[in-house]
Amino acid sequence: QSVLTQPPSASGTPGQRVTISCSGSSSNIGSDYVCWYQRLPGTAPKLLIYSNNQRPSGVPDRFSGSKSGTSASLAISGLRSEDEAHYYCAAWDDSLSSFLFGGGTELTVL
Amino acid sequence: QLQLQESGPGLVKPSETLSLTCTVSGDSISSTSYYWGWIRQPPGKGLEWIGSIFYSGSAYYNPSLRGRVTISVDTSKNQFSLNLNSVTAADTAVFYCARHYCNSPTCHFDYWGQGTLVTVSS
């Protein structure tokens, strides 16, 4: 059971907007920034969002991040088949002195 | 372009020590802005941070693994290494090395190696 809680699965149709949630606590999301990773099948995780809502160079603006209180969300607009992947949220936890990953959400494009 | 490459045995016997090395190219491991870390992913499970190290040798570890894990750095070779002792089948995983930017309140891994599968089995 991960400290950062994500839904195990999400789905959408091409062109649709989907959101993936990440719920934490005051010692992690509530006090530190959130980042998001995309792991395509057979590849290493790729940083999608850092510092809650910043995109690294090369990440399309279809991907956006937000945070409110002890929860964060990743939104993907204009869904494409190549977005099928596992998505992970992550943050530092001040109480555990540990970098935490969420359990991951498997996104299916129908 | 920064690249990281994991290397080491793909098979380790139970109770022995798992040892992996990450070779960094395209950036100096002596950068004062970054840590260098290890993350693993057991088959069918999520990602787990193992620990991270600064070029000076200062390291911090996942409390759940503390006592079994050691991360070291060799700046002359631009490499850092992971040792995980007393392994069991539960330590079977794909192990990734990555560059770790951590400056409160922001913390993230921005560049990752391709990963290497380590199986613990007799």
Contact between residue B90 and residue B31 where contact means Cβ atoms under 8 Å apart: no
**With 80 as the cut, is the pLDDT of residue B96 above it?**
yes
Task: Report d(CA B6, CA B117) in Å as an integer.
Answer: 10
pLDDT digits (tens, 9 = 90+) for B16-68: 999 999 999 999 999 889 999 999 999 999 999 999 999 999 999 999 997 89
pLDDT > 70 fraction of chain B, expressed in percent and rounded: 100
Burial class (CB in 10 A: 0-12, 13-18, 19+), A62: middle
- pLDDT of B68 reads 96
**With 90 as the cut, is the pLDDT of residue A20 above it?**
yes
Residue B49 has its nearest CB partner, among A50, A98, A103, at A98
pLDDT > 70 fraction of chain A, expressed in percent and rounded: 100
Task: Report d(CA A12, CA A33) in Å as an integer.
Answer: 27
Find, in chain B, the residue whose alpha carbon is nearest to that of A86. Answer: B46
- Which of A57, A99, A101, A106 should we substitute to test contact with B (largest number of B Cβ atoms within 10 Å)? A99
- pLDDT of A7 reads 97
**With 80 as the cut, is the pLDDT of residue A49 above it?**
yes
Beta strands B18-25 and B79-84 are antiparallel
Cβ-Cβ contacts under 8 Å, B4 against chain A: none
Whole-Å CA distances, B78 to A44, A87, B5: 21, 30, 11
